[in-house]
Structure 1
Amino acid sequence: MTISTTTWESIASPVSRDQACGEDLRLDEGSSRLLYHIRHLRHQATSEERQVATGDVDKSALQTRWKEIFSEVVELLTTRSKDLELLTYLLESALRLDGFDGLHRCLNSVTHLVVNHWPDLHPCTDRADDELRIRHLNGLNGIDGDGTLLPVIATTPLLGAPHTPAITLSRYLRAQDTTGSKSKRDERQDVLDSIKSDAASVSSEIVQASREAIDLATNAFKELDEQLTSRSHAEFFTSAIRGRLQGCQEAFAYIFGSPPLPLESPADMTLPEHASEDIAGSTEPEPDDSADNTVVSVHANTADAQLDSVRSRQQAMDSLVEIARYFERSEPHSPIGYAVRQIIDWGNMKLPQLMEHLIPDAQARDTFFLLSGIPTPRDSELD
């Protein structure tokens, strides 16, 4: 389902000229029934989702249920009330119906309302109690347990276009699990290989659009966090959702590769004016021996400092740990940090252990040990 731009615009627009945020549905018995109805629909939908795994509920029927919730919530937000509880249900349904693109656009609408109408967003009967006002939004992340949006993010297809079987964060994490018996690990490795094989057949246009949707959703959530935190007196809990969205970025980068670097523009490649004159054959300036000596000296000193800074294997390994931490912190979507971590793990293994890790086939591994003269782990234990 693709949600139209006009839908998002209507949600962000004022309810009326006199009351931008409309009425509080909780203050009138007739209006409150509308809110109870939405809650009931959502409760039914989430209950049915838990039954999907057993095959008791048809997935298409479940989608219809969430479409109904989305439609009725949009109607209330547009014509009756700008309400934080309704916005929470809107976020839940938008992600389910339109994936990360829907989440991104919905987050933008919520942020717009927070920025422009925060004091008047309902419920606002007691403006001092912001904890009560944002409790439904906090339920998305969870405070003492998992929030309602976390499993939805994990099971949302990473690709915007239909793909069977769906490539999701949940499926990727299960395939990456290294616990259990060897047969279980081999089985999960087969799944991971299958995921990467499936990914190879996806067009670059779909990959790029899907990557952008996840990145935009991640950035939109950060923006909502900043805007709401600056206005609310209560804490807005976000760490779990941030981590889950970051996990989606990392999984996408692992499966489909890192995004290509932007090409240099012609302006970046233009030679400076004096350089083009030199190429054309202008008279070269006399070399400055003192300047050359200074440059050579600086380069030599820098190289010596780099060589002298690492004096032991442990110091080198510690430097690799720092490098891994840097990339994990500054480029969490990049595989570089994980690759360096893998090198560190391998570097801490004894050679027989490393060979067991790199050559999973026992017969091929034993042949390698025999021909190379490397003792097997069993031989090492006997020694």
Structure 2
Amino acid sequence: MEHLISPISDESTCGEYLKDNRTVYRGLRNHFNMAQSSFRQLLETPDATADEELLTQNSDNWRELASQCDQILSATSKDVEVFCWFITAQMFTNVPMVNTAKALDVFAQVVQSYWSDLQPILPEKKLKSEDEAGRAKEIAEFRIKPLLQLVGETENSGLLYMPLQLQSLIGDIDFARYAHAERSGQLAELKVEAAKALASDRQTVTETVVALGDILQHLESIERFIAEECQKIGSQGLSFRFAKKNVESLINAIKYLVGDQLNPWPLDKAQPASEEPQHDEIPSGDVVTQDSAQPASSNKVVSVVTNGEIISRDHAFNELRKVADYFLKTEPHSPVYMLIERAIRWGYMPLPALLQELVGDNDAVMGRITNLAGLESTDKTDIPKVMVSAQTADYSAPNATPVASAEPQNTASEANTATNITTNTTTNDSSSSSESEGNISNFEW
């Protein structure tokens, strides 16, 4: 696919405005419609996986579409809509995830290399704005509009949505099956099946996870670049959140089913051997060491050196963060992780601010709590001064009873704790929300 990155010609990097070439565009559009039609027929046919004729016809249609798109992108027009169809066609190849990742990588490079020349460019006669700034916005918005086909405008929409739902994740398990098992409370049984399939197909599953990670990375890269370019001219970019959420759901499904057996997880970045490990959070089974002179809010890294016991407030909240992250990855549809993150946030709020959030606009209740808790004022109350003469002081002050001086006696464990408390700690508050849905009946074509 790398040949698609090369310019079409020295004179015209991205070629012509394709819709002006009606013969070519209509022919390609017909191929796309045929591929869509055969795929829809597969979805609507019971036991379609056993119908060899339908499967072959669908595969042939998408292969032909990919071939036609390749020719046009190479020699006629580097058009965004044609790239969308080409990328979608990769989902029907023999290695769909890998090829889709490659196609998105090529598209990302084309977008970043030829943005100002990338087709479609709105013809001069169709521009409505009279000033340069307005024309630039029109051209940018017209250029990115076809991407909505690929990434979707709503939940369960976009060209990638349904093919991704039906791709094999582990053995015969696709995301549609995973979502159904999740709704019906049968994930435990599906996890057993996944473990058996992984035993004989570990390499394929690993490649699938890596490819999904690449797909997500390329989507984020394209989205970010377009947003930056649109921002330069005061235009609005395009959100890829529905497509990204779809891909993330597949990754999370695989991780839930076999993540504990794929060690290390394929998407985890390896720590270079030459570098000192730097912890953003406190690993389980370790004890935090903290400089007592450093406030807990300091943006420093946590250092860890003991064996499993929680020894500080910050350590406890870091452990809660790990629990929240676990539920975010395994049950993104559940509010559990959000509730834990809220508890962490509340734990670091000043009491007046926390009460304000809990009570809201109920001034009467807030006033009563403030009064009872003594929060209405932090000023010290004046105490009348007592004048004491030296004679009175001599009379009033009894002889002090000698008290034996007490020497501190530290136990071995206390000494070790004191020795270990040597670093600083940090707490990062973050909350995200993502949901996993696999409702095929809600798919929008």
Normalised-by-shorter TM-score class? 0.5 to 0.7
How many residues are matched? Answer: 284
Contact 1:99 1:157 in 2 (8 A): no
Higher fraction of helix: 1
Contact 2:226 2:237 in 1 (8 A): no
Query: What is the aligned partner in structure 2 of residue 174 from structure 1?
Result: 180
Residues 306, 59 of structure 1: alpha-carbon distance in 2 compared, 3 angstrom cutoff? same
How far, CA to CA, are the matches of 1:296 and 1:79 in structure 2? 63
Query: What is the aligned partner in structure 1 of residue 404 from structure 2?
Result: none
Are 2:164 and 1:153 aligned?
A: yes
How far, CA to CA, are the matches of 2:152 and 2:81 in structure 1? 15
Residues 264, 87 of structure 1: alpha-carbon distance in 2 compared, 3 angstrom cutoff? closer
Pick one of 25, 35, 53 that aligns with 1:35.
Answer: 25
Paired residue type of 2:180: R
SS in 1 for 2:41: helix
For structure 2, the residue ranges without an aligned partner over 5 or more in a row are 128-135, 277-288, 297-305, 341-445
Query: What is the aligned partner in structure 1 of residue 209 from structure 2?
Result: 211
Q: CA deviation at 1:226?
A: 1.0
Residues 321, 59 of structure 1: alpha-carbon distance in 2 compared, 3 angstrom cutoff? farther
Q: Percent identity?
A: 18
Contact 1:158 1:252 in 2 (8 A): yes
Q: CA deviation at 1:155?
A: 1.5
Residues 102, 263 of structure 1: alpha-carbon distance in 2 compared, 3 angstrom cutoff? closer
Query: What is the aligned partner in structure 2 of residue 117 from structure 1?
Result: 114
Higher RCO (CA 8 Å, separation ≥ 6 residues) = 2
Q: CA deviation at 1:322?
A: 4.6
**Structure-to-structure mapping, 1:127-276, within 5 angstroms:** 127-129=136-138, 130-144=140-154, 146-158=157-169, 163=171, 165=172, 167-178=173-184, 185=185, 189-203=188-202, 205-232=203-230, 233-257=235-259, 258-260=262-264
Q: Whose Rg is larger?
A: 2
Contact 1:48 1:62 in 2 (8 A): yes
Paired residue type of 2:143: R
Moved more, 147-156 or 47-56: 47-56
Moved more, 235-244 or 92-101: 92-101
Q: CA deviation at 1:191?
A: 4.1
**Structure-to-structure mapping, 1:1-383, within 5 angstroms:** 8-27=1-20, 31-53=21-43, 54=45, 55=48, 58-97=54-93, 98-124=95-121, 125=123, 126=127, 127-129=136-138, 130-144=140-154, 146-158=157-169, 163=171, 165=172, 167-178=173-184, 185=185, 189-203=188-202, 205-232=203-230, 233-257=235-259, 258-260=262-264, 309=313, 322-327=321-326, 332=329
Q: TM-score, normalised by structure 1?
A: 0.63
Q: CA deviation at 1:157?
A: 2.4
For structure 1, the residue ranges without an aligned partner over 5 or more in a row are 1-7, 179-184, 270-294, 311-315, 346-383
Paired residue type of 2:86: L
SS in 2 for 1:158: strand
Residues 262, 77 of structure 1: alpha-carbon distance in 2 compared, 3 angstrom cutoff? closer
SS in 1 for 2:243: helix
Residues 322, 15 of structure 1: alpha-carbon distance in 2 compared, 3 angstrom cutoff? same
Residues 225, 307 of structure 1: alpha-carbon distance in 2 compared, 3 angstrom cutoff? same
